Structures are given as structure tokens and as C-alpha cells.
Amino acid sequence: MAALAAWASAAEPAGDPALLERIAAAHRSVATMSARFEQRTTNAAAPDEAPRVMQGHFEMAVPDRYNLVLTKTNDPDWRQRFVCDGKRSAEIEQVAADMDASVKVRDAAAGDADIRRIISCARGDFPELAKDFAIRALPAEVPADGAVVILVPANAEVAKELDRVRIELGADLRVRTLTLEQPSGTRIGISVTAATYDAPIAPETFAIPERD
């Protein structure tokens, strides 16, 4: 793989190329990942508003299968799911228990770039992320042996959606938190509360529901 240092933005400090290579190597062999997380969304334009909090979990299998589910503690009937079986993807939203879920099915990689980016960040797929971002790594102050990876959009299309992404990794170089900053002032913070790597995942996890 080409040196990851080549992807660092000239407008940002160069970071530590060797550290970035170590982080990439730690994730390169990952074939499956399952994780639970909490997502908190805030907006700089409305600092007094309470964060919007969701819980979620996802499963992914290389190269392109995923299943991501979001729920709300204060709205137990609401549920949103994003799933891809490698050929097709779907977005399913349940608003109320007495209403049918809405289901949108499309070709894989059609309209789901934001979900794919989040999963790529969570599993440390930097070669994939480098298609859209300049990437640099820095040692983290806490924990002493951890690291921080900063992603800055490398093209105007992605810059319309994101200003930057900050990924914090623990001493084991596994992802602990993601922070996505959008041009609108919205900040999405994702904290990984549990993660399992390279365990078998049932194929039906990625099944696409059929539309009526």
C-alpha cells in the first residue's frame, strides 16, 4: 500500500506517517466487526439545545456488507435501519408501533455514502477513506499510547457534507470515538461502547427486506 503519509493535507500539520501506517496495519486484516455505540448530535448554532441522543449497533463484513440500527431511549417505537448485502442496500424506518415501516431499496453504493463513511471510520479502513479525505495521525495525550486521526475532505463534493472527522483510538489502536463536524455547525459524536472483531456473523444479518 502506498505510504499513508501522502494523504496528509498540506494545510494541516503533517502528523506522524509511521503512526498512521501502524494504525492502518492494525486494521488491515479485519474481516468482520460488530459494535455498539451511542450517538450524540449537537449544533453550534443552538448551543442551549439538549443533544439528540441515540443508541445503535452495527455489523459489517468485508468488503461491502453492513447492518446499522439506530434507536431512541425516549421513543421506544422509533427505529431506523440501514443494511446492505453487497448487491442492494435498504433504509427502513419504523416511526410508530401501529404503522408499517417505510422501506427504501436501491443498488448497493447508491445514496448510502454517509453510512459507509461512518462504518469505514469505525473499522479503520483508511485506504477506503483516502478516496475522499486527506488523512493524518497524531499521538493522543490520553491515553498515552493512543492516537488521533484527522480526516479533511479532499474534494469539494465531500466538503459540502463534512468539515472534518476526528477519530480517537485507544492504546490498542482500536477506534473509541468518532466526531463528524458538518458545515452547518452540526457535530455528531459517536462513542463505541463495545466492539468484537473477526467473529462469525450470520448471513441473514445482511438480508434486504422485500418491498410490498
Question: What is the structure's pLDDT at 22?
Answer: 93
Q: What is the pLDDT of residues 135-164, one digit of tens each?
A: 999 998 776 779 999 999 999 999 999 999
Q: What is the pLDDT of residues 1-51, one digit of tens each?
A: 444 444 444 445 568 999 999 999 999 999 999 999 999 999 988 888 999
DSSP string covering 52-88, please? EEEEEEEEEETTTEEEEEEEETTEEEEEEEEEE-SSE
Q: What is the pLDDT of residues 94-128, one digit of tens each?
A: 999 889 899 999 999 888 999 999 999 998 898 89
Residue extents of the structural domains in the chain = 4-198
Q: Please give the Cα distance from 23 to 155 (Å, whole number).
A: 24
Q: Please give the Cα distance from 57 to 66 (Å, whole number).
A: 11
Exposed, middle or buried, 15 (CB in 10 Å: 0-12/13-18/19+)? Answer: buried
Residue 171, pLDDT > 70, answer yes
CATH fold for domain 4-198 = outer membrane lipoprotein receptor (LolB), chain A (2.50.20)
Against a cut of 0.85, is the pTM above it?
Answer: yes
The single-letter code of the amino acid at 150 is: I
Q: What is the pLDDT of residues 69-89, one digit of tens each?
A: 999 989 999 999 999 999 999
Helix (H) or strand (E) holding 127: helix 126-129
**Residue found under cell 439528540:** 52
Question: What is the structure's pLDDT at 143?
Answer: 62
Question: What is the structure's pLDDT at 211?
Answer: 62
Residues 6+ apart with CB under 8 A from 179: 165, 166, 168, 187, 188, 189, 190
